[in-house]
Chain A
Amino acid sequence: MNDSNALYQDAIKQFAQAAHGHGQLAAATGEAKLDNPLCGDRVRMQVEVASGHIAAVAHETKGCLLCRAAASAIGARAVGQDEAAIESVATALENMLKNETPVPAGWPELSMFEPARAYPSRHRCVLLPFRALLAALTESRR
């Protein structure tokens, strides 16, 4: 009956509450704002890229717990990675949700979203911050 207990495990609540990376960057090289039109989730993601790697990341996220937890995971883990690595994680995360493949390598905390596999309408909540990060990285290259 209480399937939502599995979805809203402590890790998601803790990550959402910690809001790693919340804020703005003074010297962003790329920025993207993405919305989820279904529920109104909204992410503003900023990156500072130096020598092809993320030197700093910051986000302002208005949204559900899943969206906020995903943005927070990025805040905790993305620094030091390059665009190819982020693209690989985003693809692996989408596959984990849709095709039940393993948790993206090097991002063990993303296992907190495994229970969301059962709720396809929520996948976009989890993926939105990653899409925003990729869009910010694309912007940074221009």
Chain B
Amino acid sequence: MSATPASLRDEFPLLAATPQLHYLDSAATSQIHRMALDAVVRHETTRRANVSRGTYRLAEAADLAYEQARQTAARFLNATSADEVIFTSGATASLNLVAHAFGGTLKAGDRVVISLAEHHSNFVPWQMLRERTGIELALIPVTTSGQLDLTSLPELIDSKCRLVAVTQCSNVTGAWTDVATLVAAARKVGAKVLLDGAQAVQHGPQDVRALGIDFYAFSGHKCFGPGGVGVLWGRGELLAAMPPFLAGGGMISEVTPQATTWATPPQRFEAGTPPIAQAVGLAAALEWMMSLDWPQIHAREARLCERLIEGLLRIPGLRLLGPEAQEARAPIVSFEIPGLHPHDICQVLDAHQLALRGGHHCAQPLLAALGAEVCTRASIALYNDEADIAALLDGLGFVLRELA
């Protein structure tokens, strides 16, 4: 398949309806693909029923659609089994699930290693676990370009370390994590590895087996699917040994007045009615993604990223956050312009039909480590094109004239 950004753009209802919009905030939320939207509507209008509960034909159809969605997510991740795929409400819920359920198997003095580059959703749950159980929380520092400084690993990942939980790709700098080095260090001491894939999934299918990791978390709304759904993948034997996180219907084997026994995974971790139609919509988005020519898309995204960075660096005083080398970063570009606040920058850009995010991006420890408090971020996805980049660079010219 050799779709162009223009033809891809037409596949996204919101973008097709607003040709003047330059949407450069896909790191926050990607636009939903028509197939995902259609799948949600089709499910809700033809198969809407609760799952794992009813025996009537409509409920059976809902069951089938939901479990097929699980199988699709497993293929997207190259998981060994669909039973290793848990549907959640999003990456944040997936990360909290691991912090509670796997975290519940840890004891005081065990070490969890995260990094300074984490989104708050992979930072705060571990701080809370530390408060609850007395685990030791250690931080991998970052280099001046925002990449994880792996020279610290020998001190941090030793026999006390039980889990390394890090981002696969920074939501601020776009820096890719050297997963192979982290996994090798963790394996030496028997520690498990969790990857926060929230920013990685919109740049293509993943292979959790090749990555050699133990847990993987992502959100549907960041990979062209609906909101309100996410995935936690975990190795089967780890999930089987973990206690539940949330309790309720659907996650039990038997409840008696005296005690309750748990269902096997993945149902053990899906208390209550899951996001059924959203999971079906997400599966449609993932199926579509698996049909794409990703090397071609990556080359195009990298070209746009390079063109954007070249243009930004021509702005006097502008400070770019993140790695200089293209291959070290996803197409997420954050920057500071001295004297101009990101909210003012984004407000002026909005008047020029440009959608960007400004602020701390839920990554205050990373920004502090980089010597910044807030920044402006442009994030590029497969539907962006040269016109979006040109509009942003022109728009920043307006910003400088209007605000400076």
A interface, CB within 8 angstroms of B: 1-5, 7-8, 13, 38-42, 62-66, 119, 122, 125
B310 at the interface (CB under 8 A from A): no
Min CB–CB distance A64 → chain B (angstroms)? 4
Min CB–CB distance A29 → chain B (angstroms)? 29
A1 touches B352 (CB 8 A): yes
Q: A1-B352, A39-B342, A39-B374 are in contact. Are A7 and B359 (CB under 8 A)?
A: no
24 contacts between A and B (CB under 8 A): A1-B351, A3-B351, A4-B350, A4-B402, A5-B351, A7-B347, A8-B344, A8-B347, A8-B348, A38-B359, A39-B342, A39-B358, A39-B360, A39-B374, A40-B360, A41-B343, A62-B373, A64-B341, A64-B342, A64-B344, A66-B343, A66-B344, A119-B347, A122-B343
Min CB–CB distance B263 → chain A (angstroms)? 38
**Cα(A62)–Cα(B343), bound, Å:** 12
Interface string of B330-353 (1 = CB under 8 A from A): 000000000001111001101111
B344 touches A2 (CB 8 A): no
Interface contact tally, CB-CB below 8 A: 51
A40 touches B351 (CB 8 A): no
**Cα(A38)–Cα(B360), bound, Å:** 8
B359 touches A40 (CB 8 A): yes
Q: Which of B347-404 contact A (CB under 8 A)?
A: 347-348, 350-353, 358-360, 373-374, 398, 402-403
Q: A39-B359, A39-B374 are in contact. Are A63 and B347 (CB under 8 A)?
A: no
By a CB distance below 8 angstroms, the chain B residues around A66 are 343-344
By a CB distance below 8 angstroms, the chain B residues around A41 are 343
Min CB–CB distance B358 → chain A (angstroms)? 7
**Cα(A64)–Cα(B342), bound, Å:** 7
The A interface, classified by DSSP as helix, strand, loop or mixed, is: mixed
By a CB distance below 8 angstroms, the chain B residues around A38 are 359
B interface, CB within 8 angstroms of A: 341-344, 347-348, 350-353, 358-360, 373-374, 398, 402-403
A65 touches B350 (CB 8 A): no
**Cα(A122)–Cα(B343), bound, Å:** 9
Residue from the list A40, A42, A65 in contact with B403, Cβ < 8 A? A65
B343 touches A125 (CB 8 A): yes
Q: A38-B359, A40-B360, A40-B373 are in contact. Are A4 and B343 (CB under 8 A)?
A: no
Q: Given A3-B351, A64-B342, list of 6 further CB < 8 A pairs?
A: A2-B351, A8-B348, A39-B374, A40-B360, A64-B343, A122-B347
Q: A39-B342, A40-B373, A65-B341 are in contact. Are A4 and B347 (CB under 8 A)?
A: yes
**Cα(A62)–Cα(B373), bound, Å:** 10
Chain A minimum-CB-distance residue to B372 = A40
Residue from the list B341, B360, B402 in contact with A5, Cβ < 8 A? B402
Most chain B beta-carbon contacts within 10 A, residue among A4, A38, A119, A125: A4
Min CB–CB distance B124 → chain A (angstroms)? 13
Min CB–CB distance B275 → chain A (angstroms)? 26
B347 touches A39 (CB 8 A): no
Min CB–CB distance B225 → chain A (angstroms)? 25
Q: A40-B359, A62-B373 are in contact. Are A4 and B348 (CB under 8 A)?
A: yes
Chain B minimum-CB-distance residue to A1 = B351
Min CB–CB distance B375 → chain A (angstroms)? 10
